[in-house]
Amino acid sequence: FISKKTNEILLDDEVTENIANIFEKEGADCWFTGDTQKFLGKKYKSENYEKLSDIVEVWFDSGSTHAYVLEKRKDLKWPASMYLEGSDQHRGWFHSSLLESCGTRGRAPFDSILSHGFVVDGKGLKMSKSLGNIISPEDILKKYGADILRIWVAASDYAEDLRIDYSILEQHAESYRKIRNTFRYILGNLNDKFEKVDFDEIDISKLPELEQFMLHKIYNLNLNFEKNFKTYNFHALYKELLNFCTVDLSAFYFDIRKDTLYCDTLDSSKRKSTIVFLNILIEILLKWFAPILSFTTEEIYLLLKININKSIHLENFSTIPSQWNNRDLKDKWNELIKIREICNSSIELKRAAKEIGSSLEANLIINLNEKMIKFT
């Protein structure tokens, strides 16, 4: 109601309660046909007030949720750190919340917004019963387990619609097996016994160059990890972690050090350095993958008894010392890796031609120019 004399809105709890009781008995539509005096009650005269028939914007309730959720609960804070919803809410909840809060509080009710696309099938089509292309999370969990589903989420670029079908899930399952094999290799060579290494106390100059180079890669990968994590760029984060496991570790470091681990004596300095690095590696890897592979990392964490925490999800991410960063060593080893790749390609050509059976039968002759010699 608006006063015809002052043009002010009538705010009276008694009148509001009376209207609510009438609505409960007759329904809200009676507002448009009912007698004005009946709604005002005996306290006010109908000739002094105009009954408004305007309808509150349907998004107003959702737009004002911050007021009766965040401000009314002691365990929450206003403004929200983030509003998270689908891309359709740019003109919906995000918009109505922004307008309502700016009008009543003078600022947005959130510090940030993150919007995502929608789940579609492998061809990009909307899921529907008529098309028979719906995949339920329960079916995925039964066939693949929770961590495969979590990998699909992490690997998907949520800025666009998220495609899913069983062929896509199978690809992620294969990636998961590669990651799990990386952990299995480390656990096998540590004999399931973890020894905590103080990252700040270790003198990395006493480690072989290969281990120093790998620590350098870990340092730089961690920089990208932190940047991607803070900006919610999870698909890039996961891709880099997967490449590190498959390319830098399995195809490179593990391949080089397997002879040391399998053939050197237990007290050899090179083997001891390798074990030290593996202890460093598994702690960092577990923490990197914990937000994605929640169950796999928890299983390994409890097996190794890495810390006093009951769960890996109570741990903080590792702080990587800046002294692990070594650009000169990076330049040197990048050149060596190029030479290694050329050698491996040449060996494969000889094997394909059946001139040799194993790479161990190859006698390599490497010619280096002056620029390359300085790296050796």
**How do residues 88-136 score in pLDDT, each as one tens digit?**
888 889 999 999 999 999 999 999 999 999 998 888 888 888 888 888 8
Q: What is the rounded average pLDDT for all residues in the chain?
A: 92
C-alpha 220: how far from chain center: 18
- The answer, yes or no, to whether residue 359 has pLDDT greater than 90, is no
CATH number belonging to domain 167-325 = 1.10.730.20
Of the listed ranges 15-24, 122-131, 161-170, 226-235, the one predicted with least confidence? 122-131
- The answer, yes or no, to whether residue 256 has pLDDT greater than 90, is yes
- The answer, yes or no, to whether residue 373 has pLDDT greater than 80, is no
Q: Give the CA count within 13 Å in the CB-facing half-sphere of 174.
A: 6
* Whole-number Å distance between alpha carbons of 284 and 245: 12
* Whole-number Å distance between alpha carbons of 163 and 172: 13
Mean local confidence (pLDDT), 278-300: 97
* Whole-number Å distance between alpha carbons of 294 and 137: 17
Q: Could you give the percent of the chain with pLDDT greater than 70? A: 99
Under the banding of pLDDT at 50, 70 and 90, the label for residue 370 is confident
Among 113, 112, 132, which Cα is nearest to 122's? 132
- The answer, yes or no, to whether residue 357 has pLDDT greater than 90, is no
Mean local confidence (pLDDT), 70-99: 92
At residue 192, the pLDDT reads 81
At residue 376, the pLDDT reads 62
Long-range contacts of 189-195 (CB under 8 A, 24+ apart): 189/261, 189/274, 189/275, 189/278, 190/275, 190/278, 190/279, 190/282, 192/303, 192/304, 193/304, 194/279, 194/282, 194/283, 194/304, 194/305, 194/306, 195/279
At residue 307, the pLDDT reads 67
DSSP type of residue 283: H
pTM beyond 0.85: no
At residue 240, the pLDDT reads 98
Residue 66 — φ and ψ, nearest 5°? -60, -35
Kindly report whether the peptide bond that precedes residue 79 is cis, defined as omega within 30 degrees of 0: yes
Under the banding of pLDDT at 50, 70 and 90, the label for residue 38 is very high
At residue 375, the pLDDT reads 63
